[in-house]
Structure 1
Amino acid sequence: MKVLVALGTRPEVIKLAPVIAALQQRVEVKVCASGQHREMLQQALDAFGLHPDHMLDTMSPGRSLNILAARLLEGIDAVLEQERPDWVLVQGDTTTAFCAGLAAFQRQIRVGHVEAGLRTGDLNSPFPEEANRTLLARIASLHFAPTRLAAQALRTEGVEESRIRVTGNTVVDAIQQAQAAWPAGIPSSVPTEIRARLKAGPAVLVTCHRRENFGTVMEAFCTMLARLSERYSELQWIFPVHLNPAVREPVHRLLGGRPNLFLTDPVDYHTSLYLIRHAQLVLSDSGGIQEEAPTFGTPVVVMRQHTERMEGVHAGFATLAGQDTQIIEEAVDAWLGDELRRDGLRAKVNPYGDGRASARIRAALLNEPCEDFHG
């Protein structure tokens, strides 16, 4: 059996790296990197020691999603013609995932969708991710749902039970794989400035990159962060700033030069996990961080109108605060003002996975029995 794994963004690398490692023990694996986010993609590839068999050049600054999709379909189709895999494996809801799935479907190659079934019910939030993952559900042969809630969403849409596997989220596998490589409990890649900031005082981690938070929303977030960093001056506010100019320009313009608010370039995956582990709180619009933070018992204020990851909210790890800065600030105040509530998370189990998702995906592709994840 030959499996082609398509990936194009940092989150895809993180969540597919443990799957690739598991599959390589039993089957032939080829990796195709689409180039959707080339710089941040390479950082993640390096973190897991991955070397793609195919590296496409599809993304250029200022290009529309339609141009990206057209270039992805053309490039991936050529890879499929060359490799002729039995399965194409995609993850999540990126344009790379959808286009790789569509290209495979149109060549009558079976598609496995990792992290299937996540839904907000709003095609505009997140955009275009909600559409990408919904459309993938129509063409995938196997749906690897991370949780029972995601599996139920697929059933509601008419996906046959025989094509759904509840695996847990592969990000928990990735965390375990990453932490196993930390000498003395700290990644060697953590920059000196970040080590110094963490020694200087308790920290809050901030990330923001979603398309729906661009423009005036991003500027409002920055103004809010300026207020929060002044109000909680004893805390170190650490903000790895996304490379997208729609994020970098307002963030550096409105937040630069504040003594306890550290703006840095995107950090590698090991450093990101280390920051989550040592933060008192995370403010983020990231889906992956919502899944990673429970492993470390770290609460998250989710700066999005919707989340497709309600398991963390239901389990008490996350607050869905939306885009209203007043509501976000109230959520931050509530978490930072309640040490007992924060400490109580340390004893809870991550609702997103148990570290065995990759083995379950491999078993499903090989048509071998495996017990579902019950989260």
Structure 2
Amino acid sequence: MARKILTVFGTRPEAIKLFPLVHTLEGDARFVSRVCVTGQHRGMLDQVLQIAGVAPDHDLDVMQPDQSLDALTARLLTGIGQVLDAERPDWVVVQGDTATAMCGALAAYYRKIRVAHVEAGLRSGHIYHPWPEEANRKIIGTMAHLHCAPTDTAADALRGENVDPATIHVTGNTVIDALHWVTARIRERPEIAGGLAQWETRFAGRRIIGVTSHRRENFGEGMQAIAGAIRRIAARDDVALIFPVHLNPHVRQVMQAELAGLDNVALIEPLDYPHFARLLDIATLMLTDSGGVQEEAPALGKPVLVMRETTERPEGIAAGTARLVGTDAARIVAETCRLLDDADAYAAMARAHNPFGDGTSAQRIVDLLAAG
């Protein structure tokens, strides 16, 4: 009898990292695949669903204006619980470290349904960095029956927490599967990522720096410092910065106030997945506080400067594909200029081996679900 798998996700990064798994499950006769989305990122989630051709079986649409984390958690837990009662799956699959992932695992645990955790074992070692994601990961790790660790480092972290070694498997990260999928689609249909053409034309002859910033722990002084660093970098006449600005007002208000009107800074709306892949492709380097960019950009040979104090992806730091620069404006500027001005330093990062996967992670995970 085919096993029923319920894949639960709610944010854009989760959708990107799980659609390769959904595709693989749907093409495998060993499984009945069901999808529940929570709408934790409404518009950005829907973009990925449309591009990837994923039609959810359940959509909880949980977000409300200015919703607190505890109110969100309550809505997620009860909403996912109702879906589990209706579907009664053999496995629940969650990914990463979001409130959706944590509540999906907890609701499954309450019903004694097995949980598979994709991208398991990431740890920064600091419960407030990233916040609240570090705690979410650890909570999921105590309940999961299958831990799909992207790297040996992540697997070692789980073993260090006394997780049963038989449940830990190094699978690589499905984000690389997704990136390979979307870049192949862009080659077939360039128009799906053609929305950046105006900026590519406008900034011709300049080196493009891609920027993303949205982490909660950077709200306030950190976000102000990041904006100040971008302003100083933009004073160079050989660069341009393309910054898809997150919808959160804690990000948007600061960046508009500090950077609007600069000729070589494009403050643009959040990008759908093909356009973001295109930004990675045309960028010389990435400035980010995102987790996923630390994995994606090195797959295209692009150095990453991580504007955070800690990272739950130390493999990139160790491999040399990424460097922690924190939110000190002077350091962000200095490290950016070093990569722009020192060809050897740039090449060392651009050519470093990406430790996060080879593009076949989804099939490995599906085979583990079949064997478990």
Per the TM superposition, whether the score is higher than 0.5 is yes
Is 1:279 paired with 2:264?
no
2:227 maps to 222
Is 1:292 paired with 2:296?
yes
User: Which of 56, 78, 81 is the equivalent residue of 1:77?
Assistant: 81
**CA shift at 1:184, angstroms?**
5.8
**CA shift at 1:275, angstroms?**
1.0
Q: Aligned partners of 1:350 and 1:125: how far apart in 2?
A: 23
Aligned residues: 367
User: Which of 311, 327, 330 is the equivalent residue of 1:326?
Assistant: 330
1:201 maps to 206
Q: Aligned partners of 2:151 and 2:191: how far apart in 1?
A: 29
Is 1:127 paired with 2:131?
yes
1:242 maps to 246
User: Which of 58, 63, 70 is the equivalent residue of 1:59?
Assistant: 63
Q: Aligned partners of 2:176 and 2:156: how far apart in 1?
A: 21
Give structure 1 stretches of 5+ with no counterpart: 369-375
Change (3 A) 1:197 1:82: farther
Greater alpha carbon shift after TM alignment, 31-40 vs 96-105: 31-40
Change (3 A) 1:197 1:89: farther
Q: Aligned partners of 1:223 and 1:273: how far apart in 2?
A: 26
**CA shift at 1:165, angstroms?**
0.7
1:372 maps to none
1:152 maps to 156
Q: Secondary structure at the match of 1:112?
A: strand
2:217 maps to 212
Q: Aligned partners of 1:10 and 1:197: how far apart in 2?
A: 29
Do the aligned partners of 2:321 and 2:353 also contact (CA within 8 Å) in 1?
Answer: no
Do the aligned partners of 2:203 and 2:264 also contact (CA within 8 Å) in 1?
Answer: no
Q: Aligned partners of 2:348 and 2:190: how far apart in 1?
A: 24
Given residue 79 of structure 2, which amino acid in structure 1 is its aligned partner? G
Q: Deviations over 1:240-267 (max 9, x none)?
A: 0001111111111110010000000001
2:363 maps to 359
**CA shift at 1:199, angstroms?**
3.2
Q: Secondary structure at the match of 1:203?
A: strand
**CA shift at 1:167, angstroms?**
0.2
Is 1:178 paired with 2:182?
yes
Q: Aligned runs of 1:306-325 on 2, under 5 Å?
A: 306-325=310-329
Do the aligned partners of 1:33 and 1:54 also contact (CA within 8 Å) in 2?
Answer: yes
Q: Aligned partners of 1:68 and 1:211: how far apart in 2?
A: 16
Give structure 2 stretches of 5+ with no counterpart: none
Greater alpha carbon shift after TM alignment, 308-317 vs 155-164: 308-317
Q: Aligned partners of 1:300 and 1:50: how far apart in 2?
A: 30
Q: Deviations over 1:88-130 (max 9, x none)?
A: 0000000000000000110111000000000011110011000
Q: Secondary structure at the match of 1:190?
A: helix
Q: Deviations over 1:137-180 (max 9, x none)?
A: 10000000000000000000000111001000111111111112
Change (3 A) 1:50 1:198: farther
User: Which of 233, 240, 250 is the equivalent residue of 2:237?
Assistant: 233
Do the aligned partners of 2:320 and 2:352 also contact (CA within 8 Å) in 1?
Answer: no
Change (3 A) 1:2 1:296: same
**CA shift at 1:190, angstroms?**
2.8
Q: Aligned runs of 1:20-59 on 2, under 5 Å?
A: 20-26=22-28, 27-59=31-63
Q: Aligned partners of 1:156 and 1:347: how far apart in 2?
A: 31
Q: Aligned partners of 1:105 and 1:360: how far apart in 2?
A: 24
Given residue 289 of structure 1, which amino acid in structure 2 is its aligned partner? V
**CA shift at 1:346, angstroms?**
4.8
Q: Secondary structure at the match of 2:284?
A: strand
Q: Aligned partners of 1:17 and 1:288: how far apart in 2?
A: 15
Greater alpha carbon shift after TM alignment, 333-342 vs 239-248: 333-342
User: Which of 6, 9, 18 is the equivalent residue of 1:16?
Assistant: 18
1:251 maps to 255
**CA shift at 1:347, angstroms?**
4.2
Q: Deviations over 1:200-246 (max 9, x none)?
A: 5220001100001111211121122111101x222111000001111
Q: Secondary structure at the match of 2:121?
A: coil
Do the aligned partners of 1:190 and 1:270 also contact (CA within 8 Å) in 2?
Answer: no
**CA shift at 1:344, angstroms?**
4.5
1:373 maps to none
Q: Secondary structure at the match of 1:30?
A: strand
Q: Secondary structure at the match of 2:106?
A: helix
Q: Secondary structure at the match of 1:204?
A: strand
**CA shift at 1:32, angstroms?**
0.5
Given residue 133 of structure 1, which amino acid in structure 2 is its aligned partner? R
Give the percent of matched residue pairs that are identical in Structure 1 and Structure 2.
47
Q: Secondary structure at the match of 1:3?
A: strand
Change (3 A) 1:325 1:112: same
Q: Aligned partners of 2:77 and 2:288: how far apart in 1?
A: 31
Is 1:117 paired with 2:121?
yes
